[in-house]
Amino acid sequence: MKVFRLISLLFILAIAYPARAQKPGVYNAIYSGTPWFDDRGNVVSAHGGGIIKDNGRYYFFGEKHTDTSNAFAGFNCYSSTDLYNWKFESIALPVQDTGKLGPNRVGERVKVMKCPKTGEYVMYMHADDMGYKDQYVSYATSKTVTGPYTFKGMLPFNGKPIRKWDMGTFQDNDGSGYVLVHSGEIYRLSDDYKSVTEQVIKDMSPECESPAIFKKGGVYFWVASHRTSWERNDNFYLTATSLKGPWTARGIFAPAGTLTWNSQTTFVLPIAGARDTTFMFMGDRWSYPLQASAASYVWQPFTVSGTTIFIPKFMDAWRVNTTTGAVSAVAISNQTTEPKKTITYKGQWQHTGTGDTAINNTDASGAAVSVKFIGKQVGFYSATGPNGGYAKVTIQNSAGKTMLSSVVDMYSNYPVTALRFISPEMTKGSYILTLTPLGEHSKWSDKRKADYGSKGNVVSLAKVVVTP
């Protein structure tokens, strides 16, 4: 009888509390150019964003995207203590019923600063129409960091809106707040952060987008991209000892031709530790139309010396100790012995090279590849290039349950073999990783109606790495 009651109780509980997506595992590093899974097992969607540290926690705000439209879908907020593992907190600003961020509008480049005078959290964003012809720098406020934020409409400057796009923010050491926009303008905020009091600089770089500022010592670094829409370009920077200038052009900050390691600037986070301050470049690797599932993040530490910044080499994986501020590189190596990893190709593939230089490509419909392995973490490298397409990636456990699922974009305007996927560290076990070409690729038109994107649907598998 008791057993029967217990079973009934479990049954009722199971109906009342259906199984939620499980935390997929733990990340022990910052990975760039791969999908990140949050605590719910969903891909982190927070592009064009920025980070604020509050009460010892990092809060990452960014654009929530969908795979079906560029319309504003809200701004997401995630939090983390280590910058590796992201907990979904909230849709900090949802789509509004009407107005500048109502249905079928564009909402981009969200950033949050805490106003020292009022203690309020103030969120800034670029609001626009779907054709990018009705831009407004706008703001929202909240008493708590995670929101919900109350949308206040346009940010006034002499009672009028700032009709510019690609907005960034900067908070100086003295607590003064600034809003940056495309073409290289800087505006100083009022003490309550709810209006602009002064245009600090005008049009200092007319062909720029996505500006960000950080400061080290007495030097301000202003970082931005050229205007190629979601396509990547060699981003560049200027320096000055006063925000009013004079600003000096310093050139690019990643090796020429890498297109800023295949990303576009959104923010620079100072990670101030007891020993060191690391300045973390945050870039977006956009992927239209699958911006929700296939766009990824490129986060790399800057080397900063005097008035020079650089990201000399791309680190697939690295760690930053948020207590000391120190950075260390992480080697992703394949430690599995062959019998524990079986790779099965289905359909038509071209296999070239051997060993570490082996590349396996397909654009055939019906093709797939699966990797059966025993271990706790799996990742793969792909030969990406101008013809790269989308692949669906899943990980199933030995009971056939899908543990993780995402889409990976193999497009890169310059050919490079790079890490495209890595799972968090899961419970050690037997899993199957499957890559299925979607027969689609990223492509889009920009604000001036120029076409961009991939020219093919090639899906590639180079090296598979398994952590036992």
Distance (Å, whole) CA 72 – CA 130: 9
Which residue in the block uniquely carries the two structure tokens 């056939």? 400
Q: Give yes or no for a contact between 140 and 61, defined as CB atoms under 8 angstroms apart.
A: no
Choice between 344 and 445, CB closer to ligand GLA:
445
Interface with ligand GLA, residue 209, by CB under 6 A: yes
285 contributes a contact to ligand GLA by CB under 6 A: no
Nearer to ligand GLA, 252 or 374 (CB): 252
Yes or no: say if 59 and 432 are a contact pair by the CB < 8 Å rule.
no
Using CB under 6 A, pick the residue from 71, 319, 446, 468 that binds ligand GLA.
Answer: 446
* Cβ-based nearer residue to ligand GLA, 186 or 459: 186
Cβ 447 to ligand GLA, closest distance in Å?
6
What is the closest distance, in whole angstroms, from the C-beta atom of residue 384 to ligand GLA in the complex? 19
Q: How far is the CB of 294 from ligand GLA (least distance, A)?
A: 16
CB environment 21-54: b (16+ within 10 A), e (fewer): eeebbebbbbbbbbbbbbbebbbbbbbbbbbbee
Contact pick of 32, 138, 210, 278 for ligand GLA (by CB under 6 A): 210
Query: Which residue's CB is nearer to ligand GLA, number 168 or number 424?
Result: 168
109 in contact with ligand GLA (CB under 6 A): yes
Pairwise CA distance, residues 468 & 463, whole Å? 16
Task: Say how far apart CA 319 and CA 327 lie, in whole Å.
Answer: 6
Q: Residue number with the shortest CB distance to ligand GLA?
A: 229
Interface map 254-273 toward ligand GLA (x if CB under 6 A)? ----------x---------
In terms of CB distance, is 131 or 257 closer to ligand GLA? 131
What is the CB neighbour count within 10 angstroms for residue 248? 11
| Minimal distance, residue 182 CB to ligand GLA, in Å | 8
Q: Is 105 in the site for ligand GLA (CB under 6 A)?
A: no
Strand order in the sheet with 57-63: 47-54, 57-63, 75-80, 87-93
Helices and strands (DSSP H and E) totals, the chain? 2, 37
Q: Are 435 and 457 in contact (CB under 8 A)?
A: no
Q: Are 182 and 151 in contact (CB under 8 A)?
A: no
Contact call for residue 108 and ligand GLA (CB under 6 A): yes
Q: How far is the CB of 230 from ligand GLA (least distance, A)?
A: 5
| Residue 103 in tokens | 């249905």
**Token match 């139309």: residue?**
289
* Residue from 229, 235, 262, 322 binding ligand GLA (CB under 6 A): 229
Name which of 70 and 377 has its Cβ closer to ligand GLA: 70
CA–CA separation, 282 vs 270, rounded Å? 11
Instruction: Using the minimum distance from each CB to ligand GLA, give the nearer residue, 24 or 289.
Output: 289
Among 38, 39, 89, 166, binds ligand GLA (CB under 6 A): 166
Q: Does 234 bind ligand GLA (CB under 6 A)?
A: no
Rounded least distance, CB 379 to ligand GLA, Å: 28
Measured from the CB atom, the residue of 165 and 431 that comes closer to ligand GLA is: 165
Torsion of CA 105, 109, 115, 118, to 10 degrees: 10
Q: Given the complex with ligand GLA, which of 67 and 425 has the nearer CB atom? A: 67
Tokens of 291: 């911006």
81 burial level (CB within 10 Å; 0-12, 13-18, 19+): exposed
Q: How far is the CB of 440 from ligand GLA (least distance, A)?
A: 19
185 contacts ligand GLA (rule: CB under 6 A): no
Residue 275 in contact with residue 11, Cβ under 8 Å?
no
CB of 44 to ligand GLA, least distance (A): 18
Among 61, 75, 139, 230, binds ligand GLA (CB under 6 A): 230
Out of 24, 25, 35, 48, the residue judged to bind ligand GLA by CB under 6 A: 48
Closest listed residue to residue 237, CA positions, set 285, 173, 306, 175: 306
Q: How far is the CB of 361 from ligand GLA (least distance, A)?
A: 29
| For ligand GLA, the closer CB: 47 or 463 | 47
Burial profile 173-196: b = 16 or more Cβ within 10 angstroms, e = fewer: eeebbbbbbbbbbbbbbbeebbbb
460 φ, ψ to 5°? Answer: -130, 145
Q: Please, which residue, 209 or 363, has the CB nearer to ligand GLA? A: 209
Residues lying near ligand GLA in the complex (CB under 6 A): 48, 108-109, 166, 209-210, 229-230, 264, 446-447
